[in-house]
Amino acid sequence: MLKTILSSTSDFCLTFLNLLYPQDCLVCSGRAHELKPTPLCEPCNDRIMAFVGSPHWATAERELAFDAAYHVASYEDIVKRCICLFKYEGKTRLSKVLGSVMVEYAARNLNFGSIDMIVPVPLHPVKLRERQFNQSELIAEHLAKKFNKKIEKDWLKRIRYTSPQAGLSREQRLRNIKGAFLVKRDAGFTGRSILLVDDVMTTGATLHECAKTIKAAGAKKVLAYTLACGN
Ligand SMILES: [Zn+2]
């Protein structure tokens, strides 16, 4: 009850503040919604939400360790702009919008009934300190909440600091990321089906390495789900 009152009070305050100091849309600088504290204007919000209707998926290639990979949109245009703002410019307010896009897409196109838990792709502690948040974790939290799934944020750890994957070939990416992850000793992946969540999939090298590590720890199935796919 108290939580509900506090939440409506805080919504009211945000609406009031937004009326006094309206925010510009982070993408097009147009005026964002006047009554709702949202980071995007209505046309930009509609543009990004339009992706939820068209299903995209790829069955994993034989040499990749995950069983299937799903994504909402190509890594271009407004999706790329939002991910860059979110990840590199610290506009974490966008996590709600991006998380909602992934929730809506999954609700319409995917069946996560057999999934036991959600695992966000971890960042190396040094990277996490630099960025101060893990974008995959923020998105995965929305999915976990909506689909009522457990989220395990520290069962999979990134133990090796790798150079950026951008600009590398597929083979170089696979080599660069090899051995970068480790499963926590008392993690319970045995016999479980896992949904691995990340913001972008390029060649699938990072998701492959995570899936390989999780499967070596006993997981039965690993599905990968990203907001975007592409370079
Ligand atoms: Zn806009």
- Cα 53 from chain centroid? 18
Distance 41 CA to ligand 1 centre (A): 4
Distance 224 CA to ligand 1 centre (A): 30
Distance 219 CA to ligand 1 centre (A): 42
Distance 15 CA to ligand 1 centre (A): 19
- Residues 225 and 110: beta-carbon distance below 8 Å: yes
Q: What is the pLDDT of residue 15?
A: 56
Those residues with Cβ within 8 angstroms of residue 90's Cβ, 6 or more apart along the chain or in another chain: 131, 132, 133
Q: What is the pLDDT of residue 170?
A: 87
Tokens representing residue 69 in the block: 């990979």
Distance 93 CA to ligand 1 centre (A): 14
Distance 59 CA to ligand 1 centre (A): 34
Distance 69 CA to ligand 1 centre (A): 30
Beta bridge partners of 31: 24
Distance 24 CA to ligand 1 centre (A): 8
pLDDT digits (tens, 9 = 90+) for 166-206: 888 888 999 999 999 999 999 999 999 999 999 999 989 99
Beta strands in the chain (DSSP E): 57-59, 68-74, 117-120, 150-151, 156-158, 181-183, 193-201, 221-229
CATH class, domain 55-103+112-229, is alpha beta
Q: What is the pLDDT of residue 33?
A: 63
What does the chain come to in residues? 231
Distance 46 CA to ligand 1 centre (A): 9
Neighbours of ion ligand 1 (CB under 5 A): 25, 27-28, 30, 41, 44
Q: What is the pLDDT of residue 166?
A: 81
What's the whole-model pTM score? 0.87
Distance 31 CA to ligand 1 centre (A): 7
Distance 78 CA to ligand 1 centre (A): 10
**In degrees to the nearest 10, what's the CA dihedral of 195, 167, 80, 21?**
110
Per-residue pLDDT of the chain (231 residues; tens, 9 = 90+): 555 555 556 555 555 555 555 678 999 988 776 656 688 998 999 999 998 887 766 655 668 899 999 999 999 999 999 999 999 999 999 999 999 999 999 999 888 888 999 999 999 999 999 999 999 999 999 999 999 999 999 999 999 999 888 888 888 999 999 999 999 999 999 999 999 999 999 989 999 999 999 999 999 999 999 999 987
Distance 30 CA to ligand 1 centre (A): 5
